[in-house]
A = this chain, B = another copy of it.
Amino acid sequence: MSEYSTALSEAADRITVALDALLPRADGPEKRLISAMRYAALGPGKRMRPFLLIECGRLVGADERALLRAACAVECVHAYSLVHDDLPSMDNDDLRRGRPTVHKAYDEATAILAGDALQTQAFAILADPETHPDAALRCELVSRLAQAAGARGMAGGQMIDMAIEAGEEREIGVITRCQRMKTGALIAFCAEAGAVLARADKETRTALEGFAHDLGLCYQIVDDLLDVEGDETLTGKRTRKDAGQGKATFVTILGVDGARDRARHLAAQAKEHLVNYGEDAKLLIQTVDYVLDRQS
């Protein structure tokens, strides 16, 4: 493994351990729900968003403990969104990260409730005084996470995505808006959270948010490329489903080469936002390359 892969995988382990401690124990007559929440949140995963949150926060000097807790909150929201997106009435996926999805391993009702309770858990973690002694910062994190996850963020993006899937929306403007909301908003939150916790100045926030914005869109275009070119045994999920559904994506609109060019351009742009940080931003710069070149 490269030095970077080692850093990423060590961070993923640290996040999983912290998340394990923050989720309730699977006991009492409600244990089936909690077991499904833990299955969804603690299973294999790159933990890309929490990693990003922690590294952005470190870059600008935020408290380590606060970053780790905020990182766990963002992973709870990400996990909740995957559980609900996989449901039969949504993307209807049986496989996620190489394992049965929650509604397959448990059942549909349990999956809906587990997603619901994971979202709740995220806000519980952020609002807890253990996250940071300053309540104003905690409230700002809650507000920003709610913006990133809500009707004008992740949930709204998933709604648009379904309209695109149904062939009702085919404009590149709508597809870009969809991705900015569906995946970009939560990735941008990761950068914002680090800046909030470090009480960073306007200029720093703008740089981190620009970085996250470009990285988020790059991530999504690579996702679309992987759906076309990816190997199911590597991605751990069903591929070629977009084409099967006749869905408009960055790849169907820009072509494979055009989409790859766009992703490269965004990756370069993302790195430029961090140019003032020099060597300190090394891990984040490597994250951009990792996102661009990933096979899964």
Q: Which residues of A contact B (CB under 8 A)?
A: 24, 28-30, 32-34, 37, 80, 84, 87, 89-90, 107-110, 112-113, 115-117, 119-121, 123-124, 126-129, 134-136, 138-140, 142-143, 146-147, 149-152, 155-160, 162-163, 169, 174, 177-178, 181
Contacts and interface: CB of A to CB of B under 8 A. Distances in A.
A112 B87 contact: yes
Nearest to A36: B159
Contacts of A143: 124, 127-128
Identical copies of this chain, number: 2
Contacts of A150: 117, 120-121, 124
A151 B119 contact: no
Nearest to A111: B89
Contacts of A139: 127, 129, 135, 138-139, 142
Contact of A24 (B80, B127, B140, B151): B151
A143 B155 CA distance: 22
Contact of A30 (B127, B140, B156): B156
* For the complex of A and B, 5 pairs with smallest distance between CB atoms: A30-B156, A124-B146, A89-B108, A127-B142, A33-B159
A204 to B, nearest CB: 22
A133 to B, nearest CB: 10
A152 B84 contact: no
Given A30-B157, A113-B155, A127-B139, 16 more contacts: A24-B152, A29-B177, A30-B151, A30-B159, A32-B159, A33-B159, A80-B116, A89-B108, A113-B158, A116-B119, A123-B123, A124-B142, A124-B146, A127-B127, A127-B146, A128-B143
Contacts of A116: 80, 84, 115-116, 119, 155
11 contacts: A29-B160, A30-B152, A33-B156, A33-B159, A80-B116, A109-B162, A110-B159, A116-B155, A120-B150, A123-B142, A127-B140
A243 to B, nearest CB: 21
Contacts of A135: 134-136, 138-139
A138 B37 CA distance: 26
A110 to B, nearest CB: 7
Contacts of A90: 109, 112
Contacts of A113: 84, 155, 158-159
Contacts of A112: 84, 87, 89-90, 112
A136 B30 CA distance: 31
A181 B31 CA distance: 13
Residue with the highest number of chain B CB atoms closer than 10 Å, among A34, A109, A136, A160: A109
